[in-house]
Structure 1
Amino acid sequence: MSSTDTAGNPTDCRGQLPAVKNGKIIDMVNAWTAATDQPFISFEYFPPKTPEGVVKLHKVIDEMCKQKPLFVDFTWGAGGSSADLTLELSKTSQQKHNVMVNMHLTCTNQSKEVCDAGLAGAKEAGICNIVALRGDPPKGQDKWEVTEGGFACALDLVKYMRTNYGDYFSIQVAGYPEGHPDRITKAGGEWSVVSEMSRPLSDREKMRLVDVDGERMTGFCKTRIPPAMAKRVAELSGDDKKAEFAEYGIDYLTDLCKQLVASKLVPGLHFYALNQSERTFQILKRLGYYAPTD
């Protein structure tokens, strides 16, 4: 529910939010939850394909950081295709936008040397938060393949990081509720992003997440679509229904966010912004989490 000040201007209904010291995300989350029962928010971006896109993205990040996200993420292209740009965006954003960065690192379809270069570069740049992922296959491939001498899965990468970098990095992992997120956290992953939510969790999935060691939050982006949603989406197909389609999606995700916050299973909400602010801001406004800026 949105709230307003005495002049009728919208305000963040979460009230006065804690000022958390920048550092490892696991420590920041613990400090946040110790100070408030309100959810934090965070955003995720991907490396643009053009220099113009990079300039535009920094403007978007600057705008979205006014909403005081606890941190922001940058994805890592399949097979290390965006390695240099991901590292540069992470480094620049942490310095320019004064926000903690959670840099993604995928481990399949690339050599250990590429992963090591990413980890070493992150450490040199003062980036201490890494999302360790298996990764998607490169464009044009139907499935991912293990590179000779490389890693077979994110679990291998987490073990490698702990062995070779000790506790320098706070390691985040993907915790798919349909899968088994406990194994990777026990190997050294400290924080699980319960990825790609498009529906409320079942009781079985809730129990599975409660049994997982470490903190967790929920991310919102594409995933398998529930039948009822698929039916409604089909009904809203066509150029003449674009506005109605967008409205449906915003309402659906707003309601899902409310259910998750009410469940107390997650301390924060993570939004895959797709390098744009509009849709995320619309959801934040309906949740009452949007803080107007000058």
Structure 2
Amino acid sequence: MNRYLLALALTAFYSKLSVSPLSIEDRQSTSTGTGPYAPAAYTQDATLTGHTIFAPKTVPAGAKLPVLLWGEGGCSADSTESAPFLIQLASQGILVIASGNPKGSGSTTAALMTAGMDWIKSKAGTGTYANVDASRIIAAGWSCGGIEAYSQFWDSRVESIGIWSSGLLTNYTMASLLTKPMFYFLGGSTDIAYANGERDYKAIPAGTPKWKGNLPVGHGGTYKQTNGGKFGIAGGYWVDWLLRGNSSASAYFTGSGAQNDGWTVEFSDLDKISVTPI
């Protein structure tokens, strides 16, 4: 099954698992992030259709924002399904490009995620995006959005992949080809994607930096809690390390930080990750 059909299959499989009880206005007002670049919020750009941008409201002079591409649960075109989580990540000092529109309908695709990357590569360093560093890009997603992120692995512009409450559905060989740093944030044994994520993690070849954490919260994670809950905490450390190059943030994953927050952790070869501070 090719990557496009795989994404469609997972859309159908997960499509009913990411309905939010909060309105966009509620999400926007209850989470502004707790990172050093807070407050953060979301907006749109007329030159980037079908996407939503999460970023700090104010960026200090001289600061640079690396980029995270994001796909929502169920491949939902409502880009604000996990707005509290994405706002928290943005408050760490990154630009998030989420596929879909606020309160959008329908489904997204892996190609839409790639289009967001193409767009920011053309805009970074100029005008409104003068402070964006598009030489640093990570792709990530929740559930079906994670499959969209997997598809970006083959793009040389993407440095790492984050799989959130997800795993490949029927592709049993791709994981054995993964050579970029891979991070898995799963919802424990009651997460419908748990077995798939566990299988993928185990299949990653020796020598590839990889980390896996399980927090027993199920498939819905904590994306919709204020500032993303514990997933937001872990995600904040993750982007601070992998995108901003803050080596002290790595201790959350290699030390006791994640475990103290309730994650069951497994990892290998993380010492091979080297990111120049931005």
TM over 0.5: no
Higher relative contact order structure (alpha carbons within 8 Å, sequence separation ≥ 6) = 1
> Greater helix percent: which structure?
1
TM-score by length of 2: 0.37
> Normalization by structure 1: what TM-score?
0.36
Rg bigger for which structure?
1
